[in-house]
Structure 1
Amino acid sequence: MEEIKAPTTQLDITKVESIQNFTESDISEFFENSLVYIKGSKENASNALKILNVLLNETYEKKLGFDDAILNLCYACYKVLEQPWEKYLRNSTYERNHGDISAFIHNTILDYGRFPNVSMIASETGLSRMTVHKHLKDGFDHKFNELLNGKIQYMIPKALEKLYLIGVENNNSHALKNFIELSGYKKPNNTTEINNYIQINNLKLSKEELEKLPHETILELENIISKAIIKK
Structure 2
Amino acid sequence: MMSLSLRAPCIVPAAVKQTATIIFLHGVGDSGQGWADILPDLRPPHAKIICPSAPLQTVTINEGMTMPSWFDLRASDQPKDEYGIKMAGAAIKEIIDSEMEAGIPSRRIVLGGFSQGGAVALYTGLTLPYTLAGILALSTWLPMYKSIPWNTAVKPKVLQCQGDSDVMVSMKGAQRTADLLKKHLQDNHTFKLYPGLGHTISNEDELKDILEFFHGNLPPTDSKL
The TM-score with structure 2 as length reference comes to 0.29
Give the number of the structure whose residues are more often strand, by fraction: 2
**Larger RCO (CA under 8 A, 6+ residues apart):** 2
